[in-house]
Structure 1
Amino acid sequence: MSRPRISSRTQAERLAATRAALLKEARAIFATAGYEAAATEEIVKRAKVTRGALYHHFRDKRDLFEAVVEEVARGIATMIDDTAVPARTPLETLVEGMRAFLDACLDPAVRRIYLIDAPAVLGWHRWREIDAPHGVRSLREGIAAVLEERPDPALAIEPLTFLLSGASNEAALWVAEAKDEKAARRAMDRALGELIERLFAPSRSPRARARV
């Protein structure tokens, strides 16, 4: 006689709870200690699971870290999308989305995991693969919406996406490392608004574009 289906659902729920506990504690430890110093023994202890449970869900510490990075990437994208929704124009949506990215990355845990350790541990190629459907996707959609409203043959979506993505990463690190973070953030917000407005300004002449 086969077991009731509820048993398999309960088992699935237990597995999901174990994975969630591992990700939660791993994220906290990776954020405070950094990847290199983080110990799987401590992660297992805090999650109150066995080492066997850890290796049931993840191949090794790097695999666990990659899952944490993916979780962080989803959180950043959600914050960007939620913040940008109320904006009135595509240009405002783009600016607010980029500011939301800065907000997310000024969280020390996000910054340590996503901007500092992730590229070093996973490599730039893998890190960009993880970011592609999240932060990069949101930025690309924002740029595409602006260019649809303000067509400019001198500007292409793909190069602009990675140009502004790199600028956003550096901006987040610069603000975080400033002696006066609040003042640095205000200065960055002003610079960001001016940069985007001038970049997509419809009044620029073709000759002026060529000099930029």
Structure 2
Amino acid sequence: MGRRALMMEETRARLIRTARKAFAEKGFAAASMDELTAEAGLTRGALYHNFGDKKGLLRAVIEQIDAEMLARTGLVRDRAASRWQSLLDEGAAYIEMALEPEIQRIMLLDGPAVLGDPSQWPNQMACLRTTTQALQALIDDGTIKPVDAEAAARLLNGAALNASLWVAASKDPAAVLGKAVEAFRLLAGGLLNQAAA
């Protein structure tokens, strides 16, 4: 990578790092572009050049956080005793992350308000493919009932996402979390073959 490309990557990284902190502490609406760029030691032009606008910067921050969340749920999946348990644990872990202030504010409150329906974000489509593949493997080995894997993946992912949004927006997130995870596990359990249950 050339010197110019390295400088551009560093500029992007500084803007994302600074914005992530500001969005988590102040929220998207209250985070000033002038303060963001000053804190990063850059100009507004650098922000516009790299991200188009503040909304583009939020999208980049969300992509970074989402990649971290995906890595964390992947670790949960890898530790599970079975494919079925990994599916349940991964969904529960995703919902539990809604208790974390940064994820709550940026991913679950400001992100949907600014960028629209999170189920349509590119990262959700990648997650959908992974869940569909996991469900197809569970269908193939007889763990779950024969069902359209994509339809089941959309419903399970939607349940986890909506549970997370509910936890994040509630007045008592910790109390809502237990109810949300229990309901998610029970809903998913409806897919199990009687012999596997």
**What TM-score, normalized to structure 1?**
0.79
Flag structure 2 segments of 5+ consecutive residues without an equivalent: none
Give the Cα separation in 1 of the matches to 2:165 and 2:104. 8
Alpha-carbon shift at residue 188 of structure 1 (Å): 3.3
Within-5 A mapping of 1:190-205: 190-197=182-189, 199-203=190-194
Cα deviations by residue, 1:157-184 (Å, 9 ceiling, x for unpaired): 1121221222112222333455654444
| 2:10 pairs with 1:17 | yes
| Ranges of 4+ aligned residues in structure 1 off by more than 6 Å | none
Cα deviations by residue, 1:27-85 (Å, 9 ceiling, x for unpaired): 12222322222211111111111222222212111111111122222122111111110
Conserved 8 A contact 2:128-2:153: yes
**What TM-score, normalized to structure 2?**
0.84
Match for residue 58 of structure 1? 51
Alpha-carbon shift at residue 127 of structure 1 (Å): 4.0
Give the Cα separation in 2 of the matches to 1:115 and 1:30. 12
Conserved 8 A contact 1:73-1:131: no
Conserved 8 A contact 2:16-2:60: yes
Structure 1 residues 17 and 141, CA, compared in 2 at 3 Å: closer, same or farther? same
Q: 2:164 aligns with which of 135, 159, 172?
A: 172
The alignment-based identity, stated in percent, is 31
Q: 2:84 aligns with which of 71, 86, 91?
A: 91
Q: Secondary structure at the match of 1:49?
A: coil
Cα deviations by residue, 1:83-124 (Å, 9 ceiling, x for unpaired): 110112111010111012123332122122222222332233
Give the Cα separation in 2 of the matches to 1:41 and 1:93. 44
Give the Cα separation in 2 of the matches to 1:122 and 1:176. 17
Conserved 8 A contact 1:34-1:117: yes
Q: Secondary structure at the match of 2:79?
A: coil
Give the Cα separation in 2 of the matches to 1:76 and 1:53. 28
Match for residue 39 of structure 1? 32
Q: 1:30 aligns with which of 2, 17, 23?
A: 23
Q: What letter is aligned with 1:196?
A: A
| 2:100 pairs with 1:107 | yes
Conserved 8 A contact 2:23-2:31: yes
Structure 1 residues 125 and 81, CA, compared in 2 at 3 Å: closer, same or farther? closer
Flag structure 1 segments of 5+ consecutive residues without an equivalent: 1-7, 205-212
Match for residue 140 of structure 2? 148
Q: What letter is aligned with 2:192?
A: A
- CA RMSD of superposed structures (Å): 2.4
Conserved 8 A contact 1:90-1:149: no
Structure with max Cα Rg: 1
Q: What letter is aligned with 2:78?
A: V
